[in-house]
Structure 1
């Protein structure tokens, strides 16, 4: 019971930890998104840059979280924009556009993201006075089949480009199209934006409906509480009334703009509001404007300095981490190489030891064979010669000695040296022929088809001894009349099947069978035995 409760508590804690981790990431996104939009401290943008760089790296090359990568890339672009790094801003927006194209299923989010990126790129080119490129970008986006709202935004942007080049009639045409699309889409925000822009251009062209349009746009924005958008209406209205010499109204709307900037604590809007005051003949605000302008310039410079320092530190940490990882990888590869070399050396030494041991056994057998033949067998034969004439007792002794002689000769023959310089097929054929007589017929199948050159000498010598031992056991114990030896090549394996029709046996591995098994195992082969009483004997060798 206690174990179950502990497991349940661990499960709950794990779920809680995951939820807290997700909540922390969400809180961090909200926090850094906010400070990018309105940085108040010199280090804000630098910290946000570090956060969004990590986010971008975390989601890179992962199609399942490509939206997260786009989101992070967009905020990195916004940071570069605020620092005044136009080229970096452009590069990151183009990268965002490329990532967006990789998303196969388009959604409202992808359309909005696409529109935002195009808008940012258009602003970059417009500020560079590259109006042709800005127009090309907006026109291309306009043909991509976006919604009415998206078309309204793009048409507004095109109008803004023509307004910048003072082509007011063309600008008015595009603002009118934008207004129509916005009304058709029932999007109040875009309706107010396009109406305010259109009415301001109408004022430039001295058209009578300009004032009513500007006031209507302001009311839409107030009704829908588009707080930040109000600054544009206040700016347009102040300039309109100043152009018709209604300084009282111009001052009123510029005051509204100034109060809104202070309320939102937005330094850039405050700077714009103060500039508007000066441009509408209110020079008393010049000193304050200079102070705000200097403050913003100093803050931007501090932001750049902090940003460069943080980026340097971040890059340094990344490089140190990469070096550490590279060192770890190299160390791992070195350890693996050492381990592999150690294992290889172990098996090489083991194989060498096994081969030397087999060679030693072979030499020992050969030496014993020669000693038996040269000393024991010859001496026995000499005694037999001396006893060939004599008493009945001598004849009995002679029979015993002859038996000893034949056994000694067999031992010598079984352990004699093998001349592996001879063709191996002939060597085996001679071996099989030596066990064939009037009572036993040895038949071979497939012997000539085997590629014996693929076997090493130690394998040939061991196989020869095993076949010799099987045939010797047959000769001594089985009373077989037929022995069949089949040879078959299967891929890299050699399979040899021995069968005889002898009396068979109950399989108990004595010294003979155990020796053959040990010999075959020594060359990494296998041997299996099958036998029953009166059903012959069978052995299968695989090398």
Structure 2
């Protein structure tokens, strides 16, 4: 009962921790997403950039394209807010490629909405590069698939901006007016301020009477709602409005305000605009000439950089195709190698299986011959011996010879009879060694109990048993030894057996007995070596 309660408490704790971790992660995403859209502190965008970079890298490592796209889009927004339009464009193009990697069955609505946002952002990037024609194409493409009102409004606002830059003011005015009235119905103060500011600034360019009133009203809403970027935009529009109307006093006032807010949001581009407008307050022709010259240089630099980026993207696309082709070739090569390895493995498996079957066939043959010798030859000899026991004295010599033949036949049968290695193998070996013990020969073992015989299969156990038996038989017949020692050892998975006797030795001319042991060891991938000299005993090293 105590264990059950402990497990339940641990489960509850685990759920609470996981829930807290998930909530913390979700809260962080919401928090940093808000910072990107409306930074307040100087380092807000830097902190958000660090957070989403970490999120992007983690998602990339874990192969989660949806999360990587989410992080990528926030990074693109940060770069755009900081004025790094080329980097923002690069991230948006990367996001489109990532969306193509999302497998079928994913959230199609999310994918569609994300693509619309990316297209909208790409349009803005083209607009900042003065490529208005391409920007309008991208916006129209996005409008065809957009379903959410917020997306449609953002795209229309950007189209109006393009029309404004092309001096198609009436088209732009119609769009801004529609967006402004819709935002009031939706009770969205942020959008109301943005669309009112855009509408009023266009009215200023068209010299309509209520332009200043609308610009000041939009500024009040931005300041009240603490929209730093919106406030900065309102200041810029007011500066240009007063510049158009030659109101240098208010230009000076709002240029100072713009410089201050640019410091708060750490936006160099806005600060540059504010300083430039402050210089434009001066009536010096040299300053105006310098400003015009600077604008021309910056425009030329932008064109050159954009051309460079275009060729870089083209090169990367070619490299990607080459890498894809190379990867396909590598996969084909790996497949061929894998198939080759399978065939090689299959060859060795079949070879081993055939070898194993041959060994088993040899054992079956030995057992069959042993039974035949025992059942037919030995029994017939025994019957002849029984009949001769009651005969005359002259047959006793023949009887002794028959008894000798009988004993040898029985030994041959015993040596080749079946072995039950399924029982305790160590006890089986002990019985074997004891069977060769006599008053003339002492067979001893060392460290037999230390060997893990379970690591050997039945075929190897039977083979080892036969080898020990043949060594002992050879010793009994030829060596005239009085002492025999089997020294057992194990190194990792290898079993090592040292055999030694104190017999008369030999010149190592392998007879059938010794050759059989060599053949048997080779059949189980083991080794056996012999060492002997006349009158210096006999040594054998077995490794399996």
TM-score when normalising by structure 2: 0.48
TM-score when normalising by structure 1: 0.48
